[in-house]
């Protein structure tokens, strides 16, 4: 879908992108965060410069989410705040992309006519050209592709971290969960070639990155939907990919998210246990412990299968940290159904859980279901669930007291670190640790690796107050200290990739282009 809307004329320079400052604001999941890295990489390649915190940007890009509650209210509230800023800055542009843009399409301009560009999840690579066309023709541009045009990896990326990187193994999802709108906005699953995935991992490692997280809506379905017709289907492709990551020199940690319990296989468990740099951490979404509710959600597994996976993982990796997602108050959930969820949580003993109070999402089957649970009931059940999980988290964390943990030092994660001479890091199993640094010790930098002894536990973090036992300075730490951004070039084969770089100015056809949004 291509539409245009006239804007008041504004000034344009002979080289309109040169030196223009941009800011990308991201909402939603890891996929959106990774897409924003690609957006920043494209804008860098097109001649824009990233705005510092104390600078007012000439371009603001919103990369939106349609899954979170009140996502549209948050977006339009922020757009309203920018309207007077834009009115006082001739030439300033605003772009809206991501899942909400894919869903709402033209409605974004109807509610916020001062927006310059609306683009979807399938055509990230079009953004620089759309911005140039909007500027050249003084008209807003809406381009929502009907299907994926290219893998995000075929775009350059400006990474948010010098020490940890996201790598997509696939885009889209073939599941039909009744509460989820993602398949409608991201499309059917398409898998990247293993060689392209590994090439991107290698490129990150060569830039100094120590940790890589493999991303997919359903990573353990990887291998069944290759875009390359010459690549044979392979149910064991994800386990093979994990083992191949184990052969990359300098790659110290490998994580992945998210698998689906219905398709989680023993070969992945074996690959995790037998590959030294694959972290003993697994995110396994439960959603509900009730078989009846799982069926209503169209989650093609049941309580027994889920707990069986947990048992196998713990048999292979006794210290594995297992996290999950849980929805409370799905339509039709009874007290007995909720008790089933509490029972599974008590048995599984998750190291942490992302818990959500169900609320209807327009466009999903669940939003039209009868027997919507009253909000006050959902809230009361949610509080009971989080109280149980917090108690389990605290018990499990207390078992770590006295252990020596290797931490990858992170930026952020601790609001009081400056006051307490602490830093924060992630253990190999993903747990957050705040650790003290003695006055006589050099302060570790984000990206460095330290060893500490755990001295105390809280439900959502561990403490190490006895100083640093060892400290390994890394290239990632050097780059973070220098303020150098990690960048990676386009990698892999595209699916009709538009040119990257400074876009040429194109006249705008006032008619509608072919194709429509999902």
The pLDDT value recorded for residue 214 is 97
Residue 190 — very low, low, confident or very high, per pLDDT cuts 50/70/90?
Answer: very high
Which of residues 398, 418, 446 is at a domain's end?
Answer: 398
Same domain, 93 and 220: no
Is residue 275 in a domain? yes
Is 279 part of any known ligand binding site?
no
pLDDT over 60 (residue 497): no
Position 250 in a domain: yes
Domain membership of residue 182 (yes or no) is yes
307 and 179 part of one domain: yes
Peptide bond into 258 cis (omega under 30): yes
In the block, which residue shows the tokens 């924060």?
A: 424
- pLDDT given at position 28: 81
Q: Is residue 37 part of a domain?
A: yes
Whether residue 445 is predicted with pLDDT greater than 80 in this model: the reply is: yes
Radius of gyration for the chain, computed over Cα atoms and rounded to the nearest angstrom: 24
Give the Å distances, CA to CA, from 82 to 48, 62, 286.
Answer: 20, 12, 39
pLDDT of residue 14: 43
Question: Is the residue at 14 inside a domain?
Answer: no
Same domain, 80 and 206: no
Q: Which residues of 446-462 are buried (b: 16+ CB within 10 A; e: fewer)?
A: bbbbbebbbeebebebb
Q: Give residue 30's pLDDT.
A: 84
- In terms of domains, do 170 and 222 share one? yes
Average pLDDT over residues 104-133: 92
- What mean pLDDT is predicted for residues 300-311? 97
In this predicted structure, the answer to whether residue 511 has a pLDDT above a threshold of 60 is no
- Are residues 190 and 176 both part of a single domain? yes
pLDDT of residue 506: 34
Is the Cα torsion angle 346, 351, 356, 362 positive or negative in sign?
negative
- Tell me, yes or no, whether 6 lies in a domain: no
pLDDT digits (tens, 9 = 90+) for 50-73: 999 899 999 999 999 887 667 778
The domain total for the chain is: 3
Q: What is the CATH number of the domain that holds 256?
A: 3.80.30.20
Residues 309-359 pLDDT 10s? 999 999 999 999 999 999 999 999 999 999 999 999 999 999 999 999 998
pLDDT at 514: 29
Adjacent-strand bridge partners of 456: 463
Q: Which of 370, 398, 426 is the last residue of a domain?
A: 398
Could you tell me if 316 and 276 lie in one domain?
A: yes
Does 180 carry a binding-site annotation? yes
Q: For residue 153, what are the contacts with CB-CB under 8 A and spacing of at least 6?
A: 167, 168, 192, 196, 200, 490, 491, 492
CA 74 vs CA 77, 104, 473: distances in Å? 5, 14, 40
**pLDDT over 70 at 11, yes or no:** no
Return the number of other C-beta atoms located less than 10 Å from residue 11's C-beta. 8
Q: What's the rounded mean pLDDT across residues 293-321?
A: 97
pLDDT for the residue 425: 97
Q: What is the three-class DSSP state of 373?
A: coil
pLDDT at position 2, please?
A: 55
Q: Based on the domain organization, do 183 and 235 belong to the same domain?
A: yes
Could you tell me if 461 and 356 lie in one domain? no
**Alpha-carbon torsion (168, 169, 172, 175), positive or negative:** negative
Q: CB neighbours of 277 closer than 8 A, spacing ≥ 6?
A: 245, 246, 248, 251, 252, 253, 254
pLDDT digits (tens, 9 = 90+) for 193-240: 999 999 999 999 999 999 999 999 899 999 999 988 889 999 999 999
Are 377 and 411 members of one domain? no
Annotated binding-site residue? 65: yes
Strand order in the sheet with 164-168: 164-168, 211-215, 253-257
The pLDDT value recorded for residue 1 is 57
In a domain, 334, yes or no: yes
Please give the residue that has the higher pLDDT: either 151 or 366.
366
Across the chain, which distance is largest between two alpha carbons, in Å?
A: 69
What value does the mean pLDDT take over residues 259-280? 96
Q: What is the DSSP letter of 417?
A: H
Find out whether 245 is annotated in a ligand binding site: no
The mean pLDDT value for 416-443 works out to: 92
The tokens for 180 are 């989820």
- In tens, the pLDDT along 369-386 reads 999 999 999 999 999 999
In a domain, 471, yes or no: yes
Residue scoring higher pLDDT (186 or 508): 186
Q: Are 283 and 324 in contact (CB under 8 A)?
A: yes
Q: Which domain holds residue 91?
A: 21-143
Residue with token string 């809506």: 217
The domain boundary, picked from 109, 143, 177, lies at: 143
> Which residues does residue 106 pair with via DSSP β-bridges, in sequence order?
none
Does residue 398 register a pLDDT over 60? yes
Residues 121 and 201 in one domain: no
410 with 357, same domain? no
CATH of the domain at 451: 2.40.50.140
Same domain, 450 and 467: yes
Mean pLDDT of the chain: 89
Residues with Cβ within 8 Å of 121's Cβ and at least 6 positions away in sequence, in order, are: 35, 97, 98, 99, 101, 102, 185, 186, 187
Q: Is 487 helix (H, G, I), strand (E, B) or coil?
A: strand
The CATH number of whichever domain residue 59 belongs to comes to 3.40.50.12160
């Amino acid at each position: 879908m291509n539409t245009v809307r006239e804007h008041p004329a504004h000034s344009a320079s002979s080289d309109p992108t040169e030196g223009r400052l941009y800011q990308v604001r991201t909402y939603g999941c890891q996929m959106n965060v990774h897409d924003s890295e690609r957006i920043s990489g494209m804008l860098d390649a097109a001649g824009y410069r990233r705005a510092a915190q104390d600078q007012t940007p000439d371009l603001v890009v919103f990369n939106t989410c349609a899954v979170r509650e009140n996502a549209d209210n948050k977006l339009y509230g922020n757009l309203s705040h920018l309207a007077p800023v834009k009115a006082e800055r001739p030439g300033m542009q605003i772009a809206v992309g991501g899942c909400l843009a894919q869903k709402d399409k033209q409605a974004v301009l109807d509610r916020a006519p001062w927006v310059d560009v609306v683009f979807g999840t399938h055509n990230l690579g079009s953004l620089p050209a759309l911005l140039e066309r909007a500027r050249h023709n003084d008209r807003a541009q809406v381009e929502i592709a009907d299907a994926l045009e290219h893998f995000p990896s075929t775009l350059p990326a400006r990474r948010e971290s010098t020490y940890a990187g996201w790598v997509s193994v696939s885009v889209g999802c073939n599941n039909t969960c009744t509460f989820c709108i993602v398949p409608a906005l991201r499309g059917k699953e398409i898998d990247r070639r293993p060689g392209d995935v590994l090439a991107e991992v290698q490129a990150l490692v060569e830039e100094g990155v120590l940790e890589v997280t493999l991303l997919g809506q359903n990573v353990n379905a990887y291998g069944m939907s290759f875009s390359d017709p010459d690549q044979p289907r392979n149910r064991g492709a994800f386990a093979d990919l994990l083992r191949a990551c184990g052969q990359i020199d300098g790659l110290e940690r490998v994580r992945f998210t998210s698998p689906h319990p219905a398709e989680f296989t023993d070969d992945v468990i074996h690959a995790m246990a037998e590959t030294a740099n694959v972290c003993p951490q697994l995110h396994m979404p439960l959603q509900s412990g009730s078989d009846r509710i799982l069926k209503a959600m169209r989650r093609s597994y049941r309580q027994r299968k889920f707990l069986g996976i947990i048992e196998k993982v713990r048999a292979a990796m006794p210290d594995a940290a297992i996290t999950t997602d849980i929805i409370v108050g799905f339509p039709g959930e009874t007290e007995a159904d909720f008790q089933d969820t509490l029972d599974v949580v008590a048995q599984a003993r998750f190291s942490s859980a992302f818990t959500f109070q169900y609320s209807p999402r327009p466009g999903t089957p669940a939003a039209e279901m009868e027997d919507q649970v009253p909000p006050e009931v959902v809230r009361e059940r949610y509080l009971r669930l989080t109280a149980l999980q917090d108690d389990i988290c605290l018990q499990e964390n207390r078992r770590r007291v006295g252990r020596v943990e290797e931490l990858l030092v992170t930026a952020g994660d601790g609001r009081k670190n400056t006051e307490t001479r602490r830093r924060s890091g992630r253990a190999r199993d993903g747990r957050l640790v705040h650790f003290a640094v003695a006055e006589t010790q050099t302060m570790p930098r984000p990206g460095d690796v330290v060893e500490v002894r755990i001295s105390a536990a809280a439900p959502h973090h561990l403490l190490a107050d006895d100083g640093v036992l060892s400290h390994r300075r890394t290239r990632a730490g050097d780059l973070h200290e220098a303020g150098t951004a990690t960048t990676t070039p386009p990698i892999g084969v595209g699916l009709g990739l538009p040119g990257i770089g400074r876009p040429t100015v194109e006249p705008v056809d006032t008619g509608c282009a072919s194709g429509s949004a999902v």
